[in-house]
Amino acid sequence: MTHGNPEFDLIARHFTRPAANAVLGVGDDAALVDVSNGMDLAVSTDTMVSGTHFFPDVDPENLGHKALAVNLSDMAAMGAMPYWAMLALTLPTVDHAWLEAFAKGFYDLAAEFNVSLIGGDTTRGPLTLTVTIMGEVPAGAALRRNGAKAGNDIWVSGNVGDAALAVAHRHGKVVLSEEDYREAVMRLYEPTPRVALGQALRGMATAAIDISDGLLADLGHICRLSGVGATVDLAYIPVSAIGARHSHDGPGLTAIVAGGDDYELCFTAPANARESIADLTDVLNIPLTRIGQIKRGKGVSLQAEGKPVKVDGRGYDHFSGT
Ligand code: ADP
Ligand code: MG
């Protein structure tokens, strides 16, 4: 389809595929979706800016994956089922090979999660990607950040630190072997959103968040909104084999507890849910690890062998130092 207009050509060529879930997809002034009865619509947006959220030399296919993955992760953290995505693209130039690879990364992940791209916007400017995701969650059943209670356990899915270790390596703060870097950087570029886990935790978790800014910072958000504090035991924080090799030096430890970009879920649950949560590990084949406890008071304290541990940096803050 050619309109003789480069913007329309770009959209028609790269971002117009049938939207199985929508009443009306790309092409009109707005998309139309049919939200089921008894469901709340869950909506979230994430923007990624070149140089801030990704290295400018990133493989566009990885970037397409990541732009959608970080949004799917927000649906996971709410316990929502994602269905619809919007893509706002700001591009410095029109590079069809780049766009083709980007679209492949995006659509491949979308297909894996049965998500339809139903619209967006395309503009010229510094490379910036904004994805809006929408999904459904049974009315009143969404996992929120504000439900943690004193005495609850704190859990983390998978393991944390690899993505931040790859970034720290790129910045010369830690040195990974070539093989470790190659593996860790894939966690950075192609995170696995924990969508099935989020939905399975409905009615079980009292609060949940996805780890985008760092374990301590994101757990801190749960604490602040729930009006509680937390104690985390360093020895229990799950790390990969790569993480284990770097957890004993300062910058490595900082990457593990304060580095972002892992997109694992951190959630809280009462002690009587331990068995059901352990069962989820088997059903979903995702490690789930208990790392600490919610306490009365405020703030997150990190401990090792019962003594407080101080770590440099508490997670990524876009406006710190401004
Ligand atoms: P409008 O003039 O209403 O802003 P546009 O010309 O921006 O419409 O977009 C035309 C159609 O293409 C709309 O349905 C819009 O949602 C869709 N669209 C634009 N950019 C993208 C994109 N990057 N990805 C997916 N759909 C897009
Ligand atoms: Mg527009």
- The per-residue pLDDT for range 195-204, each reduced to its tens digit, is 999 999 999 9
C-alpha of residue 285 to centroid of ligand 2, in Å: 41
Q: What is the rounded CA–CA span in Å between residue 65 and residue 305?
A: 40
Q: What is the pLDDT along the chain (322 residues), one digit of tens a residue?
A: 445 677 778 999 999 999 999 999 999 999 999 999 999 999 999 999 999 999 888 999 999 999 999 999 999 999 999 999 999 999 999 999 999 999 999 999 999 999 999 999 999 999 999 999 999 999 999 999 999 999 999 999 999 999 999 999 999 999 999 999 999 999 999 999 999 999 999 999 999 999 999 999 999 999 999 999 999 999 999 999 999 999 988 999 999 999 889 999 999 999 999 999 999 999 999 999 999 999 999 999 999 988 998 876 655 555 444 3
Q: CA nearest 1: which of 26, 22, 23?
A: 26
Q: Is 29 in the pocket of ligand 1 (CB under 6 A)?
A: yes
> Which residue in 64, 71, 66 sits closest to 106, CA to CA?
64
Write down the residue that tokens 């971002």 correspond to. Answer: 15
| Binding site membership of 87 for ligand 1 (Cβ less than 6 Å) | yes
Give the amino acid at 226: S
122 Cα nearest atom in ligand 1? 20
21 C-alpha to center of ligand 2: Å?
A: 22
The whole-angstrom separation of Cα 87 and Cα 264 is: 23
Evaluate: CB of 300 within 6 angstroms of ligand 1: no
Say how many Å lie between the CA of residue 246 and the centre of ligand 2.
46
**Burial readout 8-22 (b: 16 or more C-beta within 10 A, e: otherwise):** eebbeebbeeebebb
Order of strands, edge to edge, in the sheet holding 265-269?
207-210, 265-269, 153-157, 288-295, 229-233, 299-304, 307-308
How far, in Å, from the CA of 100 to the mean position of ligand 1?
17
Distance 9 CA to ligand 2 centre (A): 14
Nearest CA to ligand 1 atom 18: 120
User: Is the minimum distance from the CB of 193 to ligand 1 under 6 angstroms?
Assistant: no
Q: Locate the ligand 1 atom nearest the alpha carbon of residue 26 and give its number.
A: 14
User: Can you say how many angstroms the Cα of residue 216 is from the centroid of all Cα atoms in its chain?
Assistant: 15
HSE-up of residue 188 (Cα within 13 Å, Cβ side): 24
The answer to pTM > 0.85 is yes
Rounded distance from Cα 117 to ligand 2 centre (Å): 15
**pLDDT, tens digit, 9 for 90 and up, residues 151-170:** 999 999 999 999 999 999 99
Residue of 9, 121, 124 to mutate, ligand 1, most atoms within 8 A of C-beta: 121
Nearest CA to ligand 1 atom 3: 29
28 lines ligand 1 (CB under 6 A): yes
Predicted confidence at residue 2, as pLDDT, reads: 46
Length of the chain: 322
